[in-house]
Amino acid sequence: MKILLATDGSAFSEDAARFLTNFLFAPKDTIHLFHVVSAVPYEDDFRQQVLQAIKRISPKILKTCEQCIQPTRAIIMKEEGQGIPEDEIVKKAEELDADLIVMGARGIKGVKSLFLGSVTRAVAALTDRPILVTKPRIDTAGRAFKVLFATDGSDSAEATAGVLAGMPFSEDSELTILNIARSVVADIPDRYAMEVNDAMKTELAKIRTAENEKAEKIIDRAKTMLAGQFAVVHGLVKSGEPTDEVLKTAGEMQTDLIAIGSRGLKSVKGRLGSVSRRVLGRAPCSVLIGKERNPRT
């Protein structure tokens, strides 16, 4: 597995590096540490002086990030770039043909959600690579690593399952596969339910049965794709608004990682879908966004 870990030297980037210690990387895996020296809005000699001062710090940033991942069996490579951070990170991911981009989110004390910095938000929107935005695990002593995979059976969800299948989870990790069955009759208000005649009730029951069967098939397919990756695998079908149900389930389970596909706009590279964007912004834990790869021209 090829991972691009983008670091800006902040504590949040170091937390992202520590998050990777939850995985059992092999010697064939590569973690590429990448620090971008931002473009300096000055000219002439002063610009060069500022750049030189920043460049002296860059090796220390990369070295500290490397230390946060240890011990690991993966090959660690370090590189410095220069330019607009989000553009350089996306470009480097393509150059490396990275399987996953990893970045840290800013945690705010007392606020149980991810606070996305402008660079993280921009990379998530621009790249067509899977991206993992991390938040530190809390109260993990003696507890298995828990993953919640929200799937709707779409191509982006299948791509997300593929990313999960390639990640070296620890042997005691647990997976819950969640499908939100959005019913075609969910928009009938409860107060009008009494007006539904017996014939229509029968048809509605058939529709709900078909929806549940479809949900179970989606979950079974995901289980097949991820067989052997986790010690425990659960399937769960819920109904309701997808974002709310994903976040509610993650909170109830004390999930460490939410994995969800991004159904963005076709022909618009990397664009996040509305559900994945809201989950990424409001999640109480780390979030993995899987994407359909745009075909190369």
**Cα separations (Å) of 151 from 11, 96, 125, 130, 146?**
32, 28, 20, 15, 16
Does residue 199 or residue 161 have the better pLDDT?
161
Distance separating alpha carbons of residues 5 and 77, to the nearest angstrom: 10
Can you give the pLDDT at residue 192?
A: 57
Distance separating alpha carbons of residues 145 and 214, to the nearest angstrom: 28
Which domains does the chain possess?
A: 1-136 (3.40.50.620), 140-297 (3.40.50.620)
Return the exposure string of 182-208: e unless at least 16 CB atoms fall within 10 Å of the residue's CB, then b.
eeeeeeeeeeeeeeeeeeeeeebeeeb
- Which pLDDT tens digit goes with each residue over 180-211? 976 555 555 555 555 655 656 677 677 777 88
- Which pLDDT tens digit goes with each residue over 233-270? 999 999 888 999 999 999 999 999 999 998 754 444 54
Q: ∠ CA(259), CA(260), CA(266), 5° rounding?
A: 145
What percentage of the chain exceeds 70 in pLDDT? Answer: 77
Question: Rounded mean pLDDT of 202-227?
Answer: 85
